[in-house]
Amino acid sequence: MKSLMRMPNLTRYESIGINQLFNVADGHAHQPQTDAQRQIIGRLPDLFDRAEATRQAELEDEFRRLFYTLAGQPTAAGLARTLFCYSASLSTDLIATFLASRGLTAALLHPCFDNLATLMRRRNVALTPLHEEELRLDRMEETFAGLAADAVFITLPNNPTGFELSQEEWERLVALCGHYGKLLIVDCTFRFFSRKPLWDQYELLERSNISYLMVEDTGKTWPTQDLKCSILAMSEDLADDVLELHNDILLNVSPFILQLLIEYLKDTARNGLRTVVWETIDRNRRTLREAIRSSGLLLDNPGSTISVEWLRITDPNVRSLDMVDRLQRLGLGILPGDHFYWQDHGRGERYIRIALARCLDMFNEACKILQLALRTNRMDSA
């Protein structure tokens, strides 16, 4: 079977996917607006006027308070050491620039979305892979004892696998960063999909006195047509240097975007994440899992709750690029697994990723196309 040539990065595949009739490639929030969210959109002129009449600091304070309160992070709700960016990628680029300015190296989670590695390497930050299993409680001490990198960069929950740490594992991770003098960097951009009990991670970080950088985002959670805000929070010892880098590229996030997001946060606080966000994701996950039953795809992490599904191809004759090619010709855009393994693409060529934050009807049709492709592939193989 002839497949597509490998694209240079996952974003290129996403750019193809968004122009397919059925796009389940990018992990941004594309689910339909709830009735309450449609009412927010109906008030856009009023929100624009309100944003124009409100001081930037007041909008940032309210956004920060609402975001972190919803996330169960009361310590961060009043944390002044937070910077606002238009995207999580911009926050990550600031981190990469900071690491480069100090000549620091990083151990980056493997697999993860490949633009994290690309941004680091573009700033000449030397990377080593850090595997999920190395962060389990029974292996963490051994991992840190052999870790030469200056910083530990992880994504929680991890895109694409849904990997998470328990509170006990978090506490051990922070303690080991302190013991071995490591800078901890955590990308939490999928945090609102976690179903683990909420607890105050920032309180642990502040109490530990370790150096840390935390990236938050709204773009994966609320369907605001990519009008979004990322928060970059940091320990006190890093604040001045990171602030200067931020000042070089950005004055502020649009007050209108902040005002819009404030309304979405208020609505979610009133109605709950389950109703506003999780129900659509869970229903599409059930539809997908039913569609691939007895097929050539297996769930890699059945316990995942994030808004993407990571699937393993069992047919040794089919690579992820083959699957992407076949589905593109049927009007369906997905992501291949190759680039998530940013250090070794071969480890990912038996995986694909499917985004779940989509309209229910469209997603049903996408799953039918996937079923057709899987059936056709079995017949071809026979």
Confidence of residue 10 (pLDDT cuts 50, 70, 90): confident
Confidence of residue 7 (pLDDT cuts 50, 70, 90): confident
- CA dist 2 to 44, 317, 326, 334, Å? 49, 11, 10, 18
Contact 323/373 with Cβ under 8 angstroms?
Answer: yes
Q: Is 308 left (phi over 0), alpha (psi -120 to 50) or beta?
A: beta
Confidence of residue 375 (pLDDT cuts 50, 70, 90): confident
Sequence spans of domains, the chain: 10-27+273-377, 35-271
Spatial separation of the C-alpha atoms in residues 307 and 353, rounded to whole Å:
10
**pLDDT single digits (tens) 12-30:** 888 988 898 999 999 999 9
Contact 107/127 with Cβ under 8 angstroms?
Answer: yes
Per-residue pLDDT at 379 exceeds 50: no
Contact 238/213 with Cβ under 8 angstroms?
Answer: yes
Query: Between the CA atoms of 159, 163, 167 and 169, what dihedral angle is there, to the nearest 10 degrees?
Result: -120
Spatial separation of the C-alpha atoms in residues 258 and 230, rounded to whole Å:
11
Mean of pLDDT values over 176-185 = 98
Spatial separation of the C-alpha atoms in residues 258 and 254, rounded to whole Å:
6
Residue environment code for 296-329, b if the CB has 16+ CB neighbours within 10 A, otherwise e? bbeebbeebbbbbbbbebebeebbbbbbbbbbbe
Spatial separation of the C-alpha atoms in residues 158 and 190, rounded to whole Å:
8
Q: What is the pLDDT of residue 380?
A: 57
Mean of pLDDT values over 209-234 = 97
Q: 9-18, 107-116, 186-195, 203-212 — which is least confidently predicted? A: 9-18
Mean of pLDDT values over 59-67 = 98
% of the chain residues with pLDDT over 70: 97
* Residue 157: cis peptide before it, omega within 30 degrees of 0: yes
Share the mean pLDDT of the chain: 95
Confidence of residue 1 (pLDDT cuts 50, 70, 90): very low
Contact 334/352 with Cβ under 8 angstroms?
Answer: yes
Mean of pLDDT values over 178-200 = 98
Spatial separation of the C-alpha atoms in residues 346 and 337, rounded to whole Å:
9
Spatial separation of the C-alpha atoms in residues 249 and 90, rounded to whole Å:
10
Minimal CA–CA distance to 276: which of 266, 286, 289? Answer: 266
- CA dist 259 to 10, 21, 33, 53, 247, Å? 31, 32, 17, 11, 22
Q: What is the pLDDT of residue 6?
A: 78
Per-residue pLDDT at 134 exceeds 60: yes
Mean of pLDDT values over 173-191 = 98
Tokens 């602030």 locate to: 243
Residue environment code for 280-292, b if the CB has 16+ CB neighbours within 10 A, otherwise e? bbeebbebbeebb
Spatial separation of the C-alpha atoms in residues 252 and 312, rounded to whole Å:
42
**pLDDT single digits (tens) 323-372:** 999 999 999 999 999 999 999 999 999 999 999 999 999 999 999 999 99
Minimal CA–CA distance to 82: which of 205, 233, 189, 188? Answer: 233
Q: What is the pLDDT of residue 2?
A: 46
Confidence of residue 382 (pLDDT cuts 50, 70, 90): very low
Confidence of residue 4 (pLDDT cuts 50, 70, 90): low
- CA dist 147 to 127, 140, 216, 343, Å? 12, 10, 26, 17
Greatest Cα pair distance in the chain: 67
Looking at the DSSP assignment, which residues form a beta bridge with residue 109?
130
Q: What is the pLDDT of residue 378?
A: 57
Looking at the DSSP assignment, which residues form a beta bridge with residue 352?
311, 336
Query: Between the CA atoms of 67, 309, 285 and 19, what dihedral angle is there, to the nearest 10 degrees?
Result: 90
Tokens 């300015």 locate to: 101
- Tokens linked to 218: 């709204």
- The superfamily in CATH containing domain 10-27+273-377 is Aspartate Aminotransferase, domain 1 (3.90.1150.10)
Contact 94/214 with Cβ under 8 angstroms?
Answer: no
Spatial separation of the C-alpha atoms in residues 313 and 308, rounded to whole Å:
16
Mean of pLDDT values over 136-146 = 97
Q: What is the CATH number of domain 35-271?
A: 3.40.640.10
